[in-house]
Each structure stands twice: as C-alpha cells, then as structure tokens.
Amino acid sequence: MPKVKISATIENKDLKESIHYLFPDNPVVKYETIKEAEESSKEEVVSMINGKTAETKQQITVLQKAGYNLHLETIKLIAIPLKTKVWLSTLTKKDLEKIFEIINEVNKIISPIEKENEKKILEKERLEKIADKKEKESQEPVIKNPNNKPSP
C-alpha cells in the first residue's frame, strides 16, 4: 500500500490572523507537521518585514546622499527588529500591524521627497545637456569665407 502523507496546517489562531493580514488571497498551504507549517509561515512573514525594511532604508540612504535630512525616519525604522521579535513571541495581528504602520508611515514621508529628488535630478541633467551643447558650439571652428577677402 502507498504511504499517505498526513497534511497539517497552522493551528495557532494568532498566527493564522497574521498570515491572513499579509496574504488575504493566499490559500492555506498544507505541510507534513503543524510545527513545520507554523515555522515556515513565521519565516515568510519575517522575510517580508526584513525585505520591506531594507528597501525603505535603501530609499532613505539615497535621499540622504542627495542632501535630505531623514534622521527621524531612520530612527523610526530602528524599532522594527524589536517589534518583529515581539511579534514572534505573541504572533498577534495587532503587533504585526504596528510593524507595517511604521514602515508605511516612513514610506508616506519619503515618497514626496523621492518625487522632488527625481525632479531635481531630471532638471540637473537637462541643464547639463544645455551646457554641453553650448560648450560644443563654442568649440566649433569658425570657417572663413575666402570670397569675402578685403580688396587692396
């Protein structure tokens, strides 16, 4: 007789709510053990948190190099690893929502700054093209017309 794999899903109610909060359309994935299902789901959530945090930090770094002061936003992101550990211990949707509220709040602040920075970059490139064009025009040799020789 062939072996039949017993499938298990997440039993922790708080973890189920957290997973549904992040992936509302995701079907329930079956695993061999409940522990495997829960650990895999936790890893997936932590990976998503770390990815979004890293992406936001990268955006802040680019803007800081452009001269914008975003130290407060950087400080807000420092709380995320601690809040992630809290979520891992409680697994409640409320704690997970707090993490994403911080990330969304910081992104809301830096989004208009990014747009402003993009406009500045485009304007700078446009001005550089104009300056390069003028420089090339000034360096072109002036061709003298031999027919316009002065008469003696």
How far apart CA 52 and CA 69 sit, in angstroms, is 21
Write out pLDDT tens, residues 25-61.
766 666 778 788 888 889 999 999 999 999 999 999 9
SS (H, E, C) the chain: CCCCCCCECCCCHHHHHHHHHHCCCCCCCCECCHHHHHHHHHHHHHHHHHHHHHHHHHHHHHHHHCCCCCHHHHHHHHHHHHHHHHHHHHCCHHHHHHHHHHHHHHHHHHHHHHHHHHHHHHHHHHHHHHHHHHHHHHHCCCCCCHHHCCCC
Q: Which tops the pLDDT comparison, 141 or 50?
A: 50
Grade residue 4 by pLDDT with cuts at 50, 70 and 90. Answer: very low
Grade residue 146 by pLDDT with cuts at 50, 70 and 90. Answer: low
- Mean pLDDT lowest for which of 10-19, 23-32, 64-73? 23-32
Are residues 61 and 112 in contact, defined by beta-carbon separation less than 8 angstroms?
A: no
pTM attached to this predicted model: 0.72
Structure tokens at 138: 């000034």
Structure tokens at 131: 């300056």
> What is residue 28's predicted lDDT score, i.e. its pLDDT?
61
